[in-house]
Amino acid sequence: MQRARAAAFGCLSAAVLIAVSTGCATARDVRAVARSSEPALASWREGASRDAIVDFVARTTDPASPDFVPEAERIAVFDNDGTLWAEQPMYVQLAFIVDRVKALRAQHPEWESTEPFASLLRGDAKAVAAQGEHALAALVAATHGGMTDEEFRTVVREWLATARHPKTGLRYDAMVYQPMLEVLAHLRANGYRTFIVSGGGVDFVRAFAGEVYGIPTDQVVGSTARYRYESNDGVPRVVKTGEIDFVDDKEGKPVGIASRIGMRPRIAFGNSDGDFAMLEWTTAGGGARLGVLVHHTDGVREWAYDRASHIGKLARGLDEAPARGWVVVDMARDWTAIYAASSAR
């Protein structure tokens, strides 16, 4: 775990550079609407990717098929950043951290002269990133700790209601992928239970997963802080300490699935090499298995990135997908719509 944790922090540190140097412009008030369209996968163009998904669902739910999967084993897991919603130019949770430090600035005059807060507040992203893992942990603790999960999620929801993506001007939770909402709906309509398995913080994702994806809190697996139970004043509370306990990324993803879900999935969707282990473990199981990588190929409607990207780097996955039988979705070619927000109005 230590190696996975360090690697995750490495990625986050690189992203902090971008996050700190990018402001969050406010713009149009666009709300995400998590539509499920009929017929199934309406925003998917006909082709190999769509066929592979539809065919897999048909085969595994037909009792007469040799690939039939009993309903109790119909588990599908989805990465979040870059798979269900946009992750460029920074993870959304990092934009939240930056904004949150600014919002709490008045309550913490000591931050003006304490690292890494002072550098972040000066907009000196390079200085923040140079402080490494320790600095990011301090930022997480300061913005995620000292409150209950319910209180934290309220903060996240209030932030999502006002923050806007610097490029699109959309709410971040409007930048969920309409074709992926259709996959979630199609799977659930066929007896699959859908789980998010995210490198992001579990309570951050739980704040919107119900409304945006129709996924209940207990079907969100993510990185977790330690929690502490308090009942000193007669009011029992479970408080987030902000101290990172488990990083649900890379090799941590199959570990998180084994620990929290307790069953190897039949289907795994990801978009980066952070999802490689999850897809590898999922598709190595017996019986019918489906691994899908969402390849960000659409530089016009979204972003085009893979091997050279700090965020959502996809190299090994592209190299090994053909031999492993994984579906590689070409966003530009396979999706007629990108964001749920625009397709919904």
* Interacting residues toward its own copies by CB under 8 A: 1, 72, 75, 148-150, 193, 195, 202-203, 206, 210, 216-220, 224, 226-229, 231, 235-236, 238, 251-252, 254-255, 257-264, 277, 280-281, 284
- The contacts of residue 55 (CB under 8 Å, 6+ apart) are none
Please answer whether residues 176 and 30 qualify as being in contact, where contact means their C-beta atoms are separated by less than 8 angstroms: no
Minimum CB–partner distance for residue 219 and its own copies (Å): 7
**Could you tell me the CA-to-CA distances from 123 to 142, 250, 287 in Å, in that order?**
17, 30, 52
**Tokens 């990207």, located at residue:** 309
Minimum CB–partner distance for residue 200 and its own copies (Å): 14
Q: Which CB sits closer to its own copies, 29 or 245?
A: 245
- Cα–Cα distance measured from residue 143 to residue 332, given in angstroms and rounded to the nearest whole number: 36
Minimum CB–partner distance for residue 110 and its own copies (Å): 29
Q: Which CB sits closer to its own copies, 116 or 254?
A: 254
Instruction: Tell me the angle at which helices 132-144 and 2-21 cross, rounded to the nearest 10 degrees.
Output: 80
Q: Which CB sits closer to its own copies, 47 or 216?
A: 216
Q: Which CB sits closer to its own copies, 21 or 148?
A: 148
Minimum CB–partner distance for residue 289 and its own copies (Å): 12
Q: Which CB sits closer to its own copies, 39 or 262?
A: 262
- Cα–Cα distance measured from residue 230 to residue 223, given in angstroms and rounded to the nearest whole number: 22
Question: Nearest 5°: CA angle at 280, between 277 and 285?
Answer: 130
Minimum CB–partner distance for residue 132 and its own copies (Å): 25
